[in-house]
Amino acid sequence: QILLTTETTQDATLRAIYHFLDTLAIPDFPNSGTRYKFLKKCQHYFLKEGLMYRRFPQRMPVRIVFTTDERHKILEDAHE
């Protein structure tokens, strides 16, 4: 049996990045430093056909998987 958490702070950050890339609406932040870090982090991601990917130097982009069901299926497929 595979145990997956439903939502982490990293998931919330990734959802905020997705929303920003989709709408270009910058979320509210408590200070400019936090806003700057968020925008720098967004540079590592892009959207293609509604899916979000993370860029890595010298490697292929990696798709970000948001739903627990998709994550569970990927883990099951990898362990078969």
pLDDT digits (tens, 9 = 90+) for 55-77: 999 999 999 988 877 877 777 77
* Rounded distance between C-alpha atoms, residue 57 and residue 27, angstroms: 27
Where are the alpha helices (H) located in 24-67, listed in sequence order? Answer: 32-42
Question: Where residue 2 falls among pLDDT bands split at 50, 70, 90?
Answer: low
Strands 62-63, 45-48: pairing is unpaired
Domain presence at residue 3: no
Q: What pLDDT is recorded for position 6?
A: 65
Domain presence at residue 40: yes
Q: Which residue has the higher pLDDT, 4 or 80?
A: 80
Domain presence at residue 19: yes
**What residues contact residue 67 under an 8 Å CB cut-off, 6+ apart?**
none
Q: Count Cβ atoms within 10 A of the Cβ of residue 28 and give its class: 0-12 exposed, 13-18 middle, 19 or more buried.
A: exposed
Domain presence at residue 4: no
Total number of domains in the chain: 1
38-50: average pLDDT: 97
Domain presence at residue 37: yes
Domain presence at residue 67: yes
Range of the domain at 56: 9-78
Q: Per the confidence metrics, is the pTM higher than 0.75? A: yes
